[in-house]
Structure 1
Amino acid sequence: MTDYHMIEDALRYQTQGDDWVKRVALGGVVLFFGFFIVPLFTFQGYMLEVMRRVLRGETDRPPAWDELGLVDITVDGVRHTVVVLGYGLLLTLVLAIPGAMIIGGGLAGSEGLLLSGVLVIALLYFVGVIAMTVILPVATGSFLRADSIAAGFDRDVLTSVGTNRTMLMAVVMAFAVNIIVSIGSSILGITIIGYLAVPSLAFVGQSAIMYVWGRGFADAYEEEYGEPPLATVTDGTHTGPATTGTASGVDDQTGDSDAGDAGWSDDTDGDGFGTSAWDDAGDGDSGRR
């Protein structure tokens, strides 16, 4: 699958099904009331469910709001926020301390040293943003794979999947999706009616990003570990991680390593994305419907 088709499929993900207008509208309403804070966690929990399904290769049926437990997905959103804040705090400490030391020296010395300190902090901030752009999708995939906050900090998965070419390509494509949605939101925001539709567009855009993250993580994880991150059983229910343990020893839920093996392979397409979990039987269509 080409990069263009990957982005196209991601943006069309939420338009599948007869009730897609209702689903997208509800997503926009939840995001609109995000100033109450709790709906933001609910929104994030829904997005985690999107990525969880993509990790299982279920790309043809977005989650319907009425089939999800709102309390459960809200709690998921809170748990994931702990992972995000953990990395944010860590990067802040690692990157801010050197800059603060340089500025401190500049205050006691020349203006040139002070200016250098400001430039160093700006550079470190840019490095931090790039680092979070790569780390966050991998940490999220690991969190969902084991349904564990601790797994979100699994160093082995971060180093192996985070440096995998397939995952890095997914990060770039997710960034492209974000730019496309941002442009669309800016255009809609010109009018009052369009402005009211911006939250729904943001819902579609964030779903597309989670779709790309899920595709990238699933393929990269299988390339690195030889098995899918999540497995499914014949009735389509989730069995947890595809193995009975994690690669780095994090205590996680036990899954059936044989479940769904017949639907996975090590095939990759020309862009490095595996066709294993998304191919229809015998057609290699990478899950595009």
Structure 2
Amino acid sequence: MLEVMRRALNGETDTPPAWDELDLVDITVDGVRHTVVVLGYGLLLTLVLAIPGAMIIGGGLGGSEGLLVAGVLVIALLYFAGVIAMTVILPVATGSFLRADSIAAGFDRDVLTSVGTNRTMLMAVVMAFAVNIIVSIGSTLLGITLIGYFAVPFLAFIGQSAIMYVWGCGFADAYEEEYGEPPLATATSGTHTGRATTGTVSGVDDQMGDNDVNNSGWSDDTDDDGFGTSAWDDAGDSDSGGR
């Protein structure tokens, strides 16, 4: 599944990945690492809900039943809000994880806030949610019959692949809108480092071939006497690189 999204990030959307092209060890390791990212957000959501939930229920037990019911409703509302947040966060976190091939990148706050609030990415999340509903309905209908029951895993596999494809395309488009280039163009083994830059570094005398880009009068001295060879010297003087 992750390979489907990775190829979508790379713009390879013409053909799905073939099983004989995949390394079982690599995709297993990727799956385990991605699980760490998912569990990290799951643990965070649990803590966010558990702390206020325990306080509300604890206060309600010592008071009226009405207060306890109100506390349960508040917890349910927080849980619903958390599920919606995870629906948006997980696709972005997965895309960031695949972009940099790093668990830490899955928790990159800069990418989460910029891409996660991008309209294109939000539309992709909605589309993926719609695909999930369609697959769920189809699985329910197929499960009515014995033959259809055995087809449910295949439908689930196709549906999950479609969801990852939608996530990947949405993340790639949203990332390019936010950062001005495809997601894999600036991939590093870590968190997001911003847009890639080209050319020379400002304020530094960079060498271009055998000349200094900021001073054409300086060049690599290669006189016959051997003085100054591979050393930078003023080509306009008469010392031929002598020291």
TM-score (norm 2): 0.77
From 50, 56, 62, give the equivalent of 2:10: 56
Share of identical aligned residues, percent? 89
Quote how far apart the aligned CAs of 1:95 are: 2.1
State the match for 1:213 in structure 2.
167
State the match for 1:114 in structure 2.
68
Cα distance in 2 for partners of 1:257, 1:65 equals: 37
State the match for 2:126 in structure 1.
172
Change (3 A) 1:115 1:85: same
In the alignment, structure 1 segments of 5+ residues that lack a partner are 1-46, 232-240, 250-255, 259-289
Whether 2:140 is the aligned partner of 1:186: answer yes
Amino acid at match of 2:23: G
Quote how far apart the aligned CAs of 1:166 are: 0.6
From 72, 83, 101, give the equivalent of 1:129: 83
Change (3 A) 1:69 1:243: closer
From 54, 59, 70, give the equivalent of 1:100: 54
Change (3 A) 1:136 1:244: closer
Cα distance in 2 for partners of 1:243, 1:87 equals: 22
Whether 2:6 is the aligned partner of 1:78: answer no
Residues 57-93 of structure 1 show CA distances to partners (whole Å, capped at 9, x for unaligned) of 1111111111111111011000000000000000111
Quote how far apart the aligned CAs of 1:257 are: 7.7
Write out aligned runs for 1:14-53 (5 A): 47-53=1-7
Amino acid at match of 1:223: E
Query: For 1:92, what is the secondary structure of its paired residue?
Result: helix
TM-score (norm 1): 0.65
Residues 25-83 of structure 1 show CA distances to partners (whole Å, capped at 9, x for unaligned) of xxxxxxxxxxxxxxxxxxxxxx1100000001111111111111111101100000000
Cα distance in 2 for partners of 1:72, 1:257 equals: 31
Query: For 2:182, what is the secondary structure of its paired residue?
Result: coil
Residues 226-280 of structure 1 show CA distances to partners (whole Å, capped at 9, x for unaligned) of 010024xxxxxxxxx457985458xxxxxx988xxxxxxxxxxxxxxxxxxxxxx
Query: For 1:230, what is the secondary structure of its paired residue?
Result: helix
State the match for 2:153 in structure 1.
199
RMSD value, Cα = 1.8
Tell which has more relative contact order, 1 or 2 (C-alpha 8 A, sep 6+): 1
Amino acid at match of 1:189: G
Residues 151-177 of structure 1 show CA distances to partners (whole Å, capped at 9, x for unaligned) of 000000000000001100100000000
Whether 2:106 is the aligned partner of 1:152: answer yes
Compare CA radii of gyration and give the structure with the larger one.
2
Residues 183-232 of structure 1 show CA distances to partners (whole Å, capped at 9, x for unaligned) of 1111111111110010000010000000110011000000100010024x
State the match for 1:88 in structure 2.
42
Matched-pair contact (CA < 8 Å) for 1:96–1:124: no
In the alignment, structure 2 segments of 5+ residues that lack a partner are 199-243
Whether 2:97 is the aligned partner of 1:143: answer yes
Query: For 2:72, what is the secondary structure of its paired residue?
Result: helix
